[in-house]
Amino acid sequence: GENVEQHPSTLSVQEGDSAVIKCTYSDSASNYFPWYKQELGKGPQLIIDIRSNVGEKKDQRIAVTLNKTAKHFSLHITETQPEDSAVYFCAVLSGGSYIPTFGRGTSLIVHP
Amino acid sequence: DGGITQSPKYLFRKEGQNVTLSCEQNLNHDAMYWYRQDPGQGLRLIYYSQIVNDFQKGDIAEGYSVSREKKESFPLTVTSAQKNPTAFYLCASSRDGSMNTEAFFGQGTRLTVV
């Protein structure tokens, strides 16, 4: 089955800095890569996603890059704000499956 | 407002009891899912259902049961056979069974065994 590794497990930055979270996957047939943000005591919410036919996607301060050759994709948050503090999960969906495999999550802490 | 609702938010269970967690969605989604979340473990799939009256076991189905009698409802029963049920439980839905579309999560139920 698919194996998804997410790093780092915790990330602490100063307000205004950039944050980068990386995920690697094993199945070269994977074709859908969403990122979710989970605030304390709440369910995850989709913040951005990318499909295998695209290398990069941006939405204001958030961007995702995909390197299919190396089988990794990354979440980039610029100009971080305290409200960005949360747990972020990557997920991978393989072409032969409709159930995503989640990474273990990254706890991002943005210090004012 | 459309969305997915889980209840209760907090649930306490005595050892040996079965408990049922509710999950309701009014998004007209075909597919629904149950995940268990433990610290440092990410999200682990318990059960999923692509369509009414059909469901499949996920990676950690032992000690759990589900039903999908209505499109909008997918309750999860944590049975006494589940040896370590204390966890945060998340229900999700997606438009179709491919989940190649956005998944919407509920706010979760925190179950504690006392």
| Residue B100 contacts A where some CB pair is shorter than 8 Å | yes
Nearest by Cα to B70 from B108, B38, B32: B32
**Cβ(B66)–Cβ(B54) below 8 Å:** no
Q: Quick one: pLDDT at residue B83? A: 87
The verdict on a CB contact (< 8 Å) between B102 and A49 is yes
Query: How far is the CA of A90 from the CAs of A50, B28, B71, in angstroms?
Result: 11, 26, 28
Query: How far is the CA of A92 from the CAs of B58, B73, B91, in angstroms?
Result: 16, 26, 18
Q: What percent of chain B has pLDDT over 70?
A: 95
Pick A99's closest partner by Cβ from B41, B99, B106.
B99
| Residue B26 contacts A where some CB pair is shorter than 8 Å | no
| Residue A44 contacts B where some CB pair is shorter than 8 Å | yes
User: Rounded CA gap, B19 and A110, in Å?
Assistant: 38
B26-77 pLDDT per residue, tens? 999 999 999 999 987 789 999 999 999 999 999 999 999 999 999 999 999 9
| Residue B77 contacts A where some CB pair is shorter than 8 Å | no
Between A and B, how many CB-CB pairs are < 8 A? 51
Optimal mutation site among A32, A48, A102, interface B, most CBs of chain B within 10 A? A102
Res. A13: pLDDT tops 80? yes
| Residue A90 contacts B where some CB pair is shorter than 8 Å | no
Cα distance from B12 to chain A (closest Cα, Å)?
16
B68-108 pLDDT per residue, tens? 999 999 999 999 888 899 999 999 998 876 656 778 999 99
What's the rounded mean pLDDT across residues B9-15? 92
Pick A105's closest partner by Cβ from B42, B97, B106.
B42
User: Rounded CA gap, A33 and A73, in Å?
Assistant: 8
Cα distance from B16 to chain A (closest Cα, Å)?
26
A40-67 pLDDT per residue, tens? 888 999 999 998 888 999 999 999 999 9
A97: confidence class by pLDDT, cuts 50, 70, 90:
low
Cα A24–Cα A25–Cα A29 angle in degrees, nearest 5: 140
What is the side-by-side order of every strand in the sheet holding B76-78? B4-7, B19-25, B76-78, B64-66
Res. A24: pLDDT tops 60? yes
Cα distance from B28 to chain A (closest Cα, Å)?
18
Q: Quick one: pLDDT at residue B40? A: 76
